[in-house]
Structure 1
Amino acid sequence: MSEYLDTPQGRRLAYHRSTGRGPWVVFCGGLKSDMEGSKALHLEAWAQREGRAFLRFDYSGHGESSGAFTDGCIGDWHEDTLAAVDALTEGPVLPVGSSMGGWQALLLARARPGRIAGMVTIAAAPDFTEDGYWAGFSDAQKVQLESVGHVELPSDYMEPYVITRRLIEDGRTRLVLRSPLRLPFPVRFLQGTDDTAVPVATAVRLLDHAEGPDMRLTLVKDADHRFSDETCLDVIETALEDVLERAGA
């Protein structure tokens, strides 16, 4: 059974929390994903076997949490992440961010720099509202976004995404690849070469842009954006254990 957190912004977030030794491993899911996905559940099972503290949660407009997806934006989900971390964990945290959750992990590190012990990202998609959606829109789509307030985009993985003007405009205030991005802790970026949602070039750009003493990018040949078959789940687990070891945890 999920538990629920009422945030300072008046949203209600569903979560599952497993106590154990720190740092807290916090799974940050992707756009339109939820905390019942295979990666989140696999890591929860790993944490429980290892006696590790673990948190998974649904952003507002996702899964069991309150609100509609089309009402949300990167900033709202950043507020949700901060609320969950602040209220439900203590001490150092190690975010594991998948796709949009990778962007959220980076925003978390910027907002709570003193609490981050390390980071793992999986097909991280920083700045995707600008570099993916807006950059890929036709002139007609840009006009529609301005006049109607949203456009629909097909997805390889689920029903079409409804992209709102608020999502695009708010995303511009949350960009992390246009200014210094300091990650002074162990970081492992994971990426599949057959990912049609987030290209390898994005992972390389993130690696090149970020500053830190211990960053590595691992490419898994033929892995797609889901990054959730047995091989990929093992890669995630290994990366997480590596970061924990290097963080002295």
Structure 2
Amino acid sequence: MRETKFLTTDQGRQIAYHKSAGKGPCVVFLSGLKSDMEGTKAVHLEAWAQARGQAFLRFDYSGHGESSGEFSEGCIGDWHEDALAVVAALTEGPLIVVGSSMGGWQALLLARAIPERIAGMVTIAAAPDFTEDGYWANFTAAQKRELEEEGLVELPSDYMEPFIITRRMIEDGRERLVLRSPLVLDFPVRMLQGTEDTAVSRETALHLLDHAQSPDMRLTFVRGKDHRFSDEDCLKLIESSLEEVLYDL
């Protein structure tokens, strides 16, 4: 097993990463909230890229996996800074970004920040604006009061231990929303979504499809698949989606 490497960002955070050399464009995997670069999809796609001789990068946001920091202290903006830092320091030329769940939001933020670098995108249960449209919109009056007074609220999860949602995460998320203003994705986009996903709704996927401006954007629903989207069939579909995006490059 290769040794994990670390990048120190301008903010002083230690970001763990694995990079595979190969031909461009480099495929960059963006994990979901409280997920890390050792997840099934990230590791599988690394092996897929290596077999093709394709450059590949996976990393842990601060407060995730092997990177420095505490999850409860982070927010969307911090993780966006992490993504920008690793892309700037560790890659050159065009990129194909693969974003899973919150990583889908991060992929869209990268497309907004460095559009000249993004050559294609694949999202898996993309969750743009979830801090506002998912968390805040569904908080009870008591939860909103608790967030305001205590600075955090605990939410149950169908997939892992409860989430600690902080006031900083909500407030910072409002500065990073991508579905309230024009979203230009001037490259091929493939969106994948399971019909049994209880974390990200079909409506979210359709909203993104309708909102974004792209010359080649397709949404695929897969019956019976949940938010993990990590079984053999799903992994093959992610591969084929990447191959479609890469075909003309």
Corresponding position: 1:180 with 2:182 = yes
Paired positions, count: 247
Out of 202, 206, 212, the position equivalent to 2:208 is 206
Cα distance in 1, alignment partners of residues 108 and 11 from structure 2: 21
Question: What is aligned with 1:192?
Answer: 194
Cα distance in 1, alignment partners of residues 243 and 35 from structure 2: 24
Question: What is aligned with 2:100?
Answer: 98
Cα distance in 1, alignment partners of residues 52 and 41 from structure 2: 16
Q: TM-score, normalised by structure 1?
A: 0.99
Please tell me the root mean square deviation across aligned C-alpha atoms, in Å. 0.4
1:1-249 equivalence runs, <5 A: 1-245=3-247, 248-249=248-249
User: How far off its partner does 1:202 sit?
Assistant: 0.4
Cα distance in 1, alignment partners of residues 234 and 206 from structure 2: 19
Deviation per CA, 1:85-129: give whole Å up to 9, x if none.
Answer: 000100000100000000000000000010000000000000000
Cα distance in 1, alignment partners of residues 96 and 9 from structure 2: 21
User: How far off its partner does 1:56 sit?
Assistant: 0.1
Unaligned 5+ segments in structure 1 are none
Cα distance in 1, alignment partners of residues 195 and 206 from structure 2: 12
User: How far off its partner does 1:146 sit?
Assistant: 0.2
1:176 partner letter: V
User: How far off its partner does 1:183 sit?
Assistant: 0.3
Cα distance in 1, alignment partners of residues 118 and 92 from structure 2: 11
User: How far off its partner does 1:201 sit?
Assistant: 0.7
Q: TM-score, normalised by structure 2?
A: 0.99
User: Could you say what secondary structure the match of 1:36 adopts?
Assistant: coil
Cα distance in 2, alignment partners of residues 182 and 189 from structure 1: 15
User: How far off its partner does 1:41 sit?
Assistant: 0.5
User: How far off its partner does 1:214 sit?
Assistant: 0.2
Cα distance in 1, alignment partners of residues 213 and 116 from structure 2: 16
Deviation per CA, 1:141-190: give whole Å up to 9, x if none.
Answer: 00000000000000000000000000000000000000000001000010
Percent identity over the alignment? 73
User: How far off its partner does 1:24 sit?
Assistant: 0.6
Unaligned 5+ segments in structure 2 are none
Cα distance in 2, alignment partners of residues 129 and 90 from structure 1: 31
